[in-house]
Amino acid sequence: MNLRSFITVIIVSLIFGSCQFNQSVNKDLSTGAYTRGDGISCNDVIIKVNEEVKNTNTFTYGEEITFVFNNVRGLTIEDGKSYPTLSMVVMKNEKDTVLNRPNLLNNLNQGTTLSPLRLTAYFVVALPNENGESYKMHITIKDQRGDGVLTYELPFTVENNDLLKVNSTSIDYSRIYLWNESTKKTVINGQVNSNDTLILIIEGVEGLEMKDNLIFPILSIEMSDRNGNKIISDPNILSNIERSGVNPKDFKDGQIPVILTFRSGTKNNPYQLIAVLKDKNSDNKIEILTELNLK
């Protein structure tokens, strides 16, 4: 090898070495999470489930998931500021986009002086799980003032929320869940504050028998404390619809919200909630049962 060839080899090695130095790839074998940095890197990515750190890729319907990117580095600094962007996309079954948030950092459009820089992205798991759907989270951090990119991918699955025990007889539904209007979150574990407003939501109902092209649903609700005292009791909160009937398509496409509030005073936990949606013209029905504990 002559001197020119030797120098060429050294220069090429330095160039390739520099590229590798600015790139990083990491895969978490326990969750399947994949992180690739090209000019941008971070110390680690933490997954929080309802604000609790968990290393998992199985989420329960209604949980709030937060991804924390600690000590993001490699962004171009201008006048002491960096200009990151962060996008989030969720794909279902590797083909359908079910969530697309192109810029979660609108508040940083004018740049940030934070150092070390910590970026977060969160979403609420409100995704179908009736047919074994698979999902993949894609999060991308980019530099508005440069070419650096950091990508993060996490395959995950969604489990049912077991708070509600649902028994259905010949009535189909898409979702039934308990929403806390005060905290703007789905109730997961049955622990709620006594001043919270809860909403039992039933969606996508079909299977009621038609009469003159209409259906006639009945929805009863009852809540009692541990001593059997009734806190809420209504034999049919849909009494107007029961009398007049409703178009089955409108009923399926809409929501059935049941608002629940608690009286102030002594707490007699646990409280048992029973809701029954039934058909006036048949024995078809859905029974919903759960227990709540007031804090």
Instruction: List the chain domain ranges.
Output: 22-159, 165-294
pLDDT on residue 192: 92
pLDDT on residue 262: 83
Secondary structure (DSSP) of 29-57: TTT--EEEEEB-B-SEEEEEETTEE---S
pLDDT on residue 130: 75
Q: Which CATH class for the 22-159 domain?
A: mainly beta
Count other C-beta atoms under 10 Å from residue 250's C-beta: 9
pLDDT on residue 22: 56
CATH architecture of 165-294: Distorted Sandwich (2.70)
- Which residues are 142's β-sheet partners? 85, 149
The two domains 22-159 and 165-294 share their CATH topology (first three levels equal): yes
pLDDT on residue 140: 98
Measured between alpha carbons, how far is 238 from 218 in angstroms, rounded to an integer?
A: 6
Closest CA to 287 of 203, 209, 223, 219: 219
* Tens digit of each residue's pLDDT, the chain (295 residues): 444 444 444 443 333 333 334 578 889 999 999 999 999 999 999 999 988 999 999 999 889 999 999 999 999 999 999 999 999 999 999 999 999 999 999 888 899 999 999 999 999 898 888 778 999 999 999 999 999 999 999 999 999 888 999 999 999 998 899 999 998 888 988 999 989 999 999 999 999 999 999 999 999 999 999 999 998 999 999 998 888 999 999 999 988 999 998 877 778 899 999 999 999 999 999 999 999 999 8
Measured between alpha carbons, how far is 131 from 41 in angstroms, rounded to an integer?
A: 37
Q: What Rg, from alpha-carbon coordinates, does the chain have?
A: 26
Cis peptide before 235 (omega within 30 of 0): no
Contact 158, 61 (CB under 8 A): yes
Tokens 């969604």, located at residue: 158
